[in-house]
Chains A and B, each alone.
Chain A
Amino acid sequence: MFRLFGYFFEIIRGSVITARHFIVNIFFHTLNLFGIKTKRKGAFTIQYPEQKSEIAERHRSLHRLMKREDGKPRCVACKLCETVCPSECIYIEAAEDPDPEIQKYPSTFTIDLSRCCFCGFCVEACPEDAIRMDTGEVELAEYNRKDMVLDLEFLLNESK
């Protein structure tokens, strides 16, 4: 019987906690509804498509390829990223560059985003700092699988 009353005490305590959350939150919701700015908000929710949270500085997002000063890709087609990629989403074809100092450049460089797991190994493996994952693009969904295969042209000419 005593155990039972302890149980009832805890039951009531539980509902007092949830009721307190409700009353405190509804108070701040009401204040915000009438346009009064408060330091605390009623909810922690971020209303996503209209309101976006800041991405951390060392995040990993959509890839981009860096350019040399004359606009050619910095990539030398060493295929280290292709080798290290655990999901095998990078495909590189090398071609000979007339410039003897560069020697090789990628004629095709495709990344299949539908396979990419955003581990960032390609960035770490690159000896030329030619590939980076810092565009801040995280909304990468497409209606079509073909649209998720990115080519050299696209990767070179991204906005950032």
Chain B
Amino acid sequence: MIDALIILVKFIAAIVWFLVLSLYLTWAERKESAVMQDRVGANRANFFGIRILGLFQPMADAIKMMTKEDFTPTFSKRFLHNLAPFLSFFFVAVTISTIPFGSNLMIGGREIKLQVVDLNVGILFVLALLALSIYGVILSGWVSNNRWTLLGGLRGSAQLISYEVALGLSLIGIIMVFPSLQFSEIVGFQKELLFGWLPKWGIFLQPLGFIIFIMAAMAESERVPFDLPEGESEIVGFFTEYGGLKYGLYMFTDFMKVLIIACLLTTLFFGGYHVPWLYGDGFHFPWGGEWLLPHGIVVLFQVIMFNLKVFFFCWLQILVRWTYPRFRYDQLMDFGWKFLIPLSLFNIAATAFFMSL
């Protein structure tokens, strides 16, 4: 009974964390792009005259989306048309369940993993579900019964096959270095030290793998340098026939993907929730100092560190989104097939070589 309750609480906490942060990522994106371009950004949304840096903007956007007409074109298939955005949303929302937020928390003699489910094939699960979310894109393009949305969906699927291979191959290196597919174990391996002082994070063992993964993952999130399926600014995208909250769900899914990619980057390449030199009983600095902390504070430090790393990668992805123009279609294919895949194969070979030394 109490175990089921714990799982329920963990599940609700994870999904609320995920959704609230994705919601505020829209605000963060507006503000960050504005600051980058010497502007102020959305700051007018207020609640009885109180506007704290426009923090109510996501609520205003949500209300706007909800009050719009939920329109289904007569020439589309109603059930599938309604299903498509939820497919996209669901497959991305589920992935948060495998991400570890901190190490085990002891409460009343009970050990609670700060992770909703600790799958032994966590990486495969996340990759598979992220790849499945493209089905929502293809389905929406096809079911709208509009040739331009169909082309948008096709662009989405073509983009998928050109980056998904590199995305998987770039993670082979990580799996070779940290021999597990389980997120909690991969994070556990990164607790150790390299040369006695450097934390054994994925980025230090797999710098090339990190570069390939971050590029392929940005293609996964379908935002500007790789936003061929939608192409908001010029070409007609796959969600042209959607309006109101269903369109909002697609936009929201984009931000959730940004967040889940930041979580993956943190977990696989930046030591997950680990603070450098922080162990179960406190800090043990490599230069000999010690700072012992109670268990609860250690877990709190870990959760805060995880969040900070995730925020950093969200920041980085928004920076990339507001810096670069879009890839041309053939350039994206070339980039995926002729550059990322050979480079990731080279990464695997180099990793194998260094490990056999």
Enumerate chain A interface residues (CB-CB to B < 8 A).
4, 11, 14-15, 17-19, 21-22, 25-26, 29, 42-45, 47
- Measured in the bound complex, the distance between the Cα atoms of B53 and A43 in whole Å is 14
Interface segment among B134-142, B151-159, B316-324: the answer is B316-324
> Are A14 and B319 in contact, with the CB atoms below 8 A?
no
| Known A18-B319, A21-B38; further 4 A-B contacts with Cβ < 8 A | A14-B324, A21-B35, A25-B36, A43-B39
Closest beta carbon of chain B to A90's beta carbon, Å:
38
Q: Which of B36, B39, B339 contacts A18 (CB 8 A)?
A: B36
Is B241 on the interface with A (CB-CB < 8 A)? no
* Mask of B173-186 contacts with A, CB within 8 angstroms, 1/0: 00000000000000
> Are B319 and A25 in contact, with the CB atoms below 8 A?
no
* Mask of B323-357 contacts with A, CB within 8 angstroms, 1/0: 11000000000000001000000000000000000
Is B37 on the interface with A (CB-CB < 8 A)? yes
Residues of B within 8 A of A4 (CB): 339
Residues of B within 8 A of A22 (CB): 32, 35-36, 319
Q: Which 4 A-B pairs have the closest CB atoms?
A: A45-B40, A18-B323, A22-B36, A25-B35
Residues of A within 8 A of B39 (CB): 43-45
Residues of B within 8 A of A43 (CB): 34-35, 38-40
- Measured in the bound complex, the distance between the Cα atoms of B41 and A47 in whole Å is 11
Closest beta carbon of chain B to A38's beta carbon, Å:
15
Instruction: Closest B residue to A41 by CB, please name it.
Output: B38
Residues of B within 8 A of A42 (CB): 35, 38, 40
Enumerate chain B interface residues (CB-CB to A < 8 A).
32, 34-40, 319-320, 322-324, 339
- Measured in the bound complex, the distance between the Cα atoms of B37 and A44 in whole Å is 10
A-B contact pairs, 16 of them (CB 8 A): A15-B319, A15-B320, A15-B323, A17-B323, A18-B36, A18-B319, A18-B323, A19-B36, A22-B32, A25-B35, A42-B35, A43-B35, A43-B38, A44-B38, A45-B40, A47-B40
Residues of A within 8 A of B339 (CB): 4
> Are B38 and A25 in contact, with the CB atoms below 8 A?
yes
Closest beta carbon of chain A to B1's beta carbon, Å:
49
Closest beta carbon of chain A to B185's beta carbon, Å:
33
**Contact A11-B324, Cβ < 8 Å, known A22-B319, A43-B40, A45-B40:** yes
Instruction: Closest B residue to A11 by CB, please name it.
Output: B324
- Measured in the bound complex, the distance between the Cα atoms of B35 and A14 in whole Å is 16
> Are A21 and B40 in contact, with the CB atoms below 8 A?
no
Closest beta carbon of chain A to B189's beta carbon, Å:
30
- Measured in the bound complex, the distance between the Cα atoms of B39 and A25 in whole Å is 9
Instruction: Closest A residue to B338 by CB, please name it.
Output: A4
Residues of A within 8 A of B324 (CB): 11, 14-15
- Measured in the bound complex, the distance between the Cα atoms of B320 and A11 in whole Å is 10
> Are B38 and A18 in contact, with the CB atoms below 8 A?
no
> Are B322 and A18 in contact, with the CB atoms below 8 A?
yes
- Measured in the bound complex, the distance between the Cα atoms of B320 and A35 in whole Å is 31
Residues of A within 8 A of B32 (CB): 22
> Are B35 and A19 in contact, with the CB atoms below 8 A?
no
- Measured in the bound complex, the distance between the Cα atoms of B324 and A42 in whole Å is 22
Residues of A within 8 A of B319 (CB): 15, 18-19, 22
- Measured in the bound complex, the distance between the Cα atoms of B320 and A44 in whole Å is 23
Residues of B within 8 A of A29 (CB): 35
Instruction: Closest B residue to A20 by CB, please name it.
Output: B36
Instruction: Closest A residue to B35 by CB, please name it.
Output: A25
- Measured in the bound complex, the distance between the Cα atoms of B40 and A19 in whole Å is 16
Q: Which among A11, A15, A22 has the greatest number of chain B C-beta atoms within 10 A?
A: A22
- Measured in the bound complex, the distance between the Cα atoms of B320 and A42 in whole Å is 21
- Measured in the bound complex, the distance between the Cα atoms of B39 and A4 in whole Å is 33
Instruction: Closest A residue to B335 by CB, please name it.
Output: A4
Instruction: Closest A residue to B32 by CB, please name it.
Output: A22
- Measured in the bound complex, the distance between the Cα atoms of B342 and A4 in whole Å is 14
Q: Which of B34, B38, B323 contacts A14 (CB 8 A)?
A: B323
- Measured in the bound complex, the distance between the Cα atoms of B77 and A42 in whole Å is 50
Closest beta carbon of chain A to B153's beta carbon, Å:
28
- Measured in the bound complex, the distance between the Cα atoms of B316 and A19 in whole Å is 9
Q: Which among B37, B38, B322 has the greatest number of chain A C-beta atoms within 10 A?
A: B38
Instruction: Closest A residue to B44 by CB, please name it.
Output: A47
